[in-house]
Amino acid sequence: MFNHLKGIRVVELGTVLAGPIAGALLGDLGAEVIKVEPVEGEAARLWPPVDEAGESAFYLAFNRSKKGIALDLKSDEGRDIYLKLVQTADIIIDNYRMGVSDSMGIGYDAIKSIKADIIYCSISGFGRDGPRAKEPAMELLMQAFSGLMDLTGEPDRPPSRAPTATSDLGAGLYAVVGALAALRTRDATGEGSLIETTLLESQMAFLTNFWAAWEVSGELPKRAGSAHPSMVPYQAFHVKNGAVILACMTEKHFTAACQALSLDKKYTQDPQYRSQDARKAHREEILDVFSAALADYTVTDIVEHMLKHGVPCTPINNLEQVLEDPQVTFRGGLAHVQHPRSGTIHMPRLAIRFDNTTPDTYQAAPLLGQHTEHVLLDLGFSQDDIQRLHKTHIVKTTPV
């Protein structure tokens, strides 16, 4: 982990993905992140696949670089412990369902009254207010509601789900950006902030170019599979032993691709093919010609051939092929995380480098209640206090 946020304490009320990824990123940057879970653990701990040690791959992936404590926040004593903890915090990340934290007396207003300079990151589906504020808002629903799913998939097929959680991940990233900006403001003014980001608005922001295209053209964007609505050819093509992406973004790219494939000179000389708009009008013809010309190449040969001619081209890799690529290997590949039960886990590094450095190792996701005792001792509780709280299920402790 880096040390850029050393001395910053983050308390995370995070569940599933958006809150947890925000906490993990801040932890990767050096903040002390304390994840607060219910004593039975958050739901994502049970999501498959689960390894031989009983640990969820999903939970391990999004909860590294943190300490973990388990509290019964619905109890008076558990809530009091939480309020004592947040008085030592700089940042709170809360992505509980809208209204839940407030109903337990631990929402923004309650925290601000005891910690005026707190930076409170509220992550929700639709927002803290408005007619849909309390509606369910998990990732799949947000992909559908935001317009992303309507744009994903082949044009003659039903809408598809993006395989990664773009809405959750986007909201988590925006929460971190907001938290870092708020830290800068607090350093200058001493004032805290309520930061709000939503899955819906994050996903809408990720679709910026589609909103712009609709406004300029007056036409609603449509599903295009791997193709680009405005560039031809700019999509996947099947070759002898797999598939590649060919991306002709400019006239120079298109001309070079035609010459590399020895296509009829009309495609580089006839005005009806000499601009992106013109090629859009002849999309099917051009795709048929390129598909036929590419079909006899192997992935390796066509990528090498196109790059030699200055045409952007890349294989469509599976995860194993990505990991084996010399560029990924040169940059360090995956990071190593040592987990007390699961052993060595491999996962992507923080996608930021400072002065050409990136950590090789990270702190593994915590066991349920792994750091409860440590954190409570730090807050002034005695061993007898902690044992009593554990026996009465106000907290859960898990020694390693």
Q: Which sequence positions are flagged as catalytic?
A: 168
CB burial of 309-326 (b: ≥16 within 10 Å; e: otherwise) equals: eebbbebeeeeeeeeeee
CA atoms of 235 and 232, how far apart (whole Å): 8
DSSP structure string for 60-129: HHH--S-EEEEE-TTSHHHHHHHHHHHTT-SEEEE-SSTTHHHHTT-SHHHHHHH-TT-EEEEEESS-SS
Query: What is the number of alpha carbons within 13 Å of residue 127 lying toward its C-beta?
Result: 7
Cis peptide preceding 221, ω within 30 of 0: no
Contact 294, 261 (CB under 8 A): yes
Q: Strand 193-198 and strand 361-363: pairing?
A: unpaired
CA 206 distance to own-chain centroid = 12
Burial readout 213-224 (b: 16 or more C-beta within 10 A, e: otherwise): beeeeeeebebb
SS3 205: helix
